[in-house]
């Protein structure tokens, strides 16, 4: 690819389109309707790091840090990094059993409405056919356009497809390899797999040094725009560190380019970001491995994984239960959010049985309760009950302990949906939010309830409404997952 010509093309698209590379202009973007209705997506961390399958997807960094568990494992399993470096895993990443149709069928059964494969992780290996670097899956390793094939299979099943870029962290990700005798050596230049391998600084310092150079950031912009042009993704997800001050002008350029391209193609576009990297209102905020404690007036996303310890497949993954994930999902959608749930395939392209089992269990629950999920909106209260969700990033290390009094709401049309996060074993549920308003005006709901039914069984329940609560009597269901009551209004 002629980099100079592509850069000029990017500038031309920005200049002529409805969106300019300013926060004021980018603030005019609207969150796509399909995205707000979809609620549930699948994230996929799969790449060269899936070959060692040890520690986490940060293997490429950690194997070059003396004393780390990855370094010690690498010495024992593969030898010294000067003799067998991270690049030497590429020929071992064959993806010989990768079948995008099988993956897409599983995602459809899980109830996912969108899929976001990692197009390029911190390690710098592109999972798609690229004209900007030879180090890509179509040219090496699998020798297949992974993102392109998966997009085709998912779109054939009505599933929207996005892409994620973690490229900006590559600035420092391989830098520790220069601290001792490894295969990461100077001189390096643009186009080299490990380039630029700079020293690692404080990730939370927005002005940390050494600062990414113009050469690196222009390469980042070209790579990210290439993803847009090749795959027309409905969503682009960015991992952390794009909030660094040096990246800001390039973020605005990318967003303007992406939004303009989508307008040109009469398509939708949405960007996910963390740590206030984008100005509020110009993209959709994402909370990594966590959530908000209260309902929000803006749409947002949680990304988390089926495993607690890693985003990619490792031989010792510690998994969450499907029930825990479903409860988290319900809490999120009740607060105007959506869930992007990550799985980690093996290097050969097969999805681990435990990942598959969790997705299928979620899908079975989704199928029974989809009316209360897709295309719904938050109620004026997200829910009720004694359990307070811890807010913030990385708060899902342990499961939230819900009780039989914890209820979450969604709404659609003339119905309100009440999710009992822990199904009451006695067949009785009381919802205080819908208590009958009396002369004291202590209750906050004056509407009239016509009918209440249990979605899973279609049973019409009996109920009594008092000044304290709506008391519902129903036949108990043998399940650990949340159950949903459809409350129809007059």
* Residue 439: per-residue pLDDT: 60
Predicted TM-score (pTM) of this structure: 0.97
Each residue's pLDDT tens digit, 47-61: 999 999 999 999 999
Half-sphere exposure of 172 (CA within 13 A, CB side): 15
Examine the domain organization and report whether 279 and 161 are in the same domain: yes
In a domain, 240, yes or no: yes
Residues sharing a CB contact under 8 Å with residue 402, sequence separation 6 or more, in sequence order: 327, 385, 387, 421, 422
* Residue 361: per-residue pLDDT: 98
The CATH number of the domain where 470 resides is what?
A: 2.60.40.1180
* Residue 101: per-residue pLDDT: 98
Average pLDDT of every residue of the chain: 97
Last residue of a domain, one of 372, 394, 428: 372
Examine the domain organization and report whether 450 and 343 are in the same domain: no
Each residue's pLDDT tens digit, 327-376: 999 999 999 999 999 999 999 999 999 999 999 999 999 999 999 999 99
Interstrand relation of 163-165 and 114-120 (parallel, antiparallel or unpaired)? parallel
Task: Compute the distance between CA of residue 202 and CA of residue 200 in angstroms, rounded to an integer.
Answer: 7
Are the CB atoms for 332 and 340 separated by under 8 Å? no
195-216 b/e (C-beta count within 10 Å ≥ 16 → b): bbbbebbeeeebebeebbeeeb
Examine the domain organization and report whether 353 and 387 are in the same domain: no
Mean pLDDT of 186-201: 97
Each residue's pLDDT tens digit, 63-105: 999 999 999 999 999 999 999 999 999 999 999 999 999 999 9
In a domain, 378, yes or no: no
330-358 b/e (C-beta count within 10 Å ≥ 16 → b): bbbbbbbbbbbbbbbbbbebbbbeebbeb
Q: How confident is the model at residue 152 (pLDDT cuts 50, 70, 90)?
A: very high
Examine the domain organization and report whether 201 and 99 are in the same domain: yes
Please give the residue range of the domain that contains residue 226: 3-372
In a domain, 21, yes or no: yes
Examine the domain organization and report whether 359 and 406 are in the same domain: no
Q: How confident is the model at residue 309 (pLDDT cuts 50, 70, 90)?
A: very high
Are the CB atoms for 13 and 261 separated by under 8 Å? yes
Q: Is the pLDDT of residue 133 over 60?
A: yes
Mean pLDDT of 191-195: 98
């Amino acid at each position: 690819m002629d980099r100079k010509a592509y850069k000029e093309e990017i500038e031309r698209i920005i200049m002529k389109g409805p969106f300019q590379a300013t926060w004021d202009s980018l603030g005019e973007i609207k969150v796509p309707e399909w995205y707000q209705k979809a609620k549930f997506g699948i994230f996929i961390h799969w790449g060269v790091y899936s070959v060692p399958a040890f520690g986490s997807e940060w293997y490429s960094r950690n194997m070059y840090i003396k004393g780390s568990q990855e370094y010690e494992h690498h010495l024992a399993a593969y030898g010294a990094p000067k003799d067998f470096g991270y690049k030497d895993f590429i020929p071992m990443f064959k993806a010989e059993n990768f079948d995008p149709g099988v993956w897409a069928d599983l995602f459809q059964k899980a109830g996912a409405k969108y899929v976001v494969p990692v197009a390029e992780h911190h390690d710098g290996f592109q999972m798609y056919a690229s004209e900007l670097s030879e180090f890509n899956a179509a040219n090496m390793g699998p020798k297949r356009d992974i993102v392109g094939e998966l997009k085709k299979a998912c779109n054939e099943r009505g599933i929207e497809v996005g892409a994620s870029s973690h490229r900006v962290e590559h600035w420092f990700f391989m830098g520790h390899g220069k601290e001792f005798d490894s295969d990461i050596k100077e001189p390096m230049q643009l186009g080299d797999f490990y380039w630029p391998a700079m020293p690692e600084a404080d990730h939370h310092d927005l002005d940390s040094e050494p600062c990414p150079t113009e050469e690196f950031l222009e390469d980042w912009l070209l790579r990210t725009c290439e993803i847009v042009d090749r795959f027309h993704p409905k969503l682009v997800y960015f991992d952390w560190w794009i909030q660094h001050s040096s990246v800001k002008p390039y973020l605005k350029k990318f967003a303007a380019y992406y939004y303009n391209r989508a307008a040109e193609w009469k398509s939708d576009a949405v960007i996910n970001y963390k740590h206030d990297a984008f100005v509020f209102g110009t993209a959709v905020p994402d909370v990594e491995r966590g959530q908000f404690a209260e309902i929000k007036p803006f749409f947002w996303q949680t990304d988390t994984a089926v495993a607690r310890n890693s985003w990619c497949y490792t031989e010792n993954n510690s998994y969450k239960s499907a029930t825990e994930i479903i409860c988290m999902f319900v809490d999120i959608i009740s607060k105007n959010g959506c869930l992007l749930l990550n799985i980690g395939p093996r290097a050969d392209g097969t999805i681990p049985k435990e990942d598959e089992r969790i997705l299928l269990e979620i899908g079975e629950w989704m199928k029974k309760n989809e009316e209360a999920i897709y295309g719904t909106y938050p109620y004026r209260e997200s829910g009720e009950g004694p359990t307070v969700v811890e807010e913030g990033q990385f708060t899902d290390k342990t499961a939230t302990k819900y009780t039989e009094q914890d209820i979450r709401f969604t709404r659609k049309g003339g119905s309100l949906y009440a999710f009992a996060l822990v199904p009451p074993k006695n067949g009785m549920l009381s919802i205080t939010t819908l208590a009958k308003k009396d002369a004291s005006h202590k209750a906050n709901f004056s509407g009239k309830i016509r009918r209440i039914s249990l979605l899973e069984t279609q049973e019409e329940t009996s109920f009594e409404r008092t000044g304290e609560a709506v008391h519902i009597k129903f036949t108990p269901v043998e399940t650990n997952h949340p159950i949903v009551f459809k409350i129809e209004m007059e």
